[in-house]
Chains A and B, each alone.
Chain A
Amino acid sequence: DIVMTQSPDSLAVSLGERATVHCKSSQSVFYTSNNKNYLAWYQQKPGQPPKLLFHWASTRESGVPDRFSGSGSGTDFTLTISSLQAEDVAVYYCQQYYSTPKTFGQGTKVEIK
């Protein structure tokens, strides 16, 4: 199984400041035949199901604010919130779909400082 490890487990950021979440896979999730990273990011607010933010590591879903960005390749990926808003308080998860079983990171809790 590909193990996904996120860091930090939690972080507190002031409103308007940048929040950065890291995700590292135990093996590359980059598929050379189509030049794509098989990685997604989700946001989960309390009492709600996860919401898809990005697929292919950096393709933003419709309706996701552009203060959110996804980057990285191979084994190292980053989710960045450029200017944290109150509504961004949530747990963020990365997920690889390069191989079965699909696996998720343990989650990173983002809070307001």
Chain B
Amino acid sequence: QVQQEQWGAGLLKPSETLSLTCGVSDDSMTSSSYWWGWIRQPPGQGLEWIGEINHSGSTNYNPSLRSRVTLSADTSKKQFSLKMTSVTAADTAVYYCARVVVPFGEAHYFDYWGQGARVTVSS
């Protein structure tokens, strides 16, 4: 079973950069059957897809966040990371990493999720 651990700074000031990393416990990170994604959930609200990356470094981003988000992956460490620049209070949320299933060559749904990392942006 895939288990994912997330880590990164939990309290940021406006204009700072959010950085989170997710570790994958098995060897699925190098498989072409999966991509690796990030989803966030503001307090008391629904889910917003941020983006996803595969083992080769190909990425898909939510256009609404694309200008501020960079995803990266290090298969040797079995880790993938999220950086979001110029954060504001609107970026306060729980950030989840997740494995994305790729049945037909395109990343689709999320079958395993990390436990979530709470990020608060406040001056």
B window 25-49: CB within 8 A of A: 46-49
Indicate whether A93 reaches chain B with its CB closer than 8 angstroms. Answer: yes
Chain A interface residue count, Cβ-Cβ cutoff 8 angstroms: 21
What mask results when residues 65 to 81 of chain B are scored 1 for a CB within 8 Å of chain A, else 0? Answer: 00000000000000000
Q: Give the contact stretch, choosing among A70-78, A82-90, A100-108.
A: A100-108
Report the minimal beta-carbon distance from B69 to chain A, rounded to whole angstroms: 12
Q: Are A101 and B64 in contact (CB under 8 A)?
A: yes
Q: Which residues of chain B are within 8 angstroms of A38 by Cβ–Cβ distance?
A: 108
Q: Are B109 and A55 in contact (CB under 8 A)?
A: yes
A window 1-51: CB within 8 A of B: 34, 38, 40, 42, 49-51
Report the minimal beta-carbon distance from B58 to chain A, rounded to whole angstroms: 13
Q: Are A49 and B47 in contact (CB under 8 A)?
A: no
Indicate whether A68 reaches chain B with its CB closer than 8 angstroms. Answer: no
Q: Are B49 and A101 in contact (CB under 8 A)?
A: yes
Chain B interface secondary structure, helix, strand, loop or mixed? loop
Chain A interface secondary structure, helix, strand, loop or mixed? loop
User: Considering the chains assembled together, what is the distance between the CA atoms of A14 and B120 in angstroms?
Assistant: 37
Query: Which among B49, B108, B109, B114 is the interface contact of A103 at CB below 8 angstroms?
Result: B49
Q: Which residues of chain B are within 8 angstroms of A100 by Cβ–Cβ distance?
A: 60, 62-63
Query: Which among B46, B60, B63, B111 is the interface contact of A52 at CB below 8 angstroms?
Result: B111
Query: Which among A34, A40, A49, A106 is the interface contact of B109 at CB below 8 angstroms?
Result: A40
5 other A-B residue contacts (CB within 8 Å) besides A40-B110, A95-B47, A101-B62:
A49-B115, A93-B47, A100-B60, A101-B49, A103-B49
Q: Which residues of chain A are within 8 angstroms of B98 by Cβ–Cβ distance?
A: 49
Q: Can you list 7 A-B contacts with CB-CB less than 8 angstroms, sorted by A residue number?
A: A49-B113, A50-B113, A52-B110, A97-B108, A100-B62, A105-B46, A107-B46
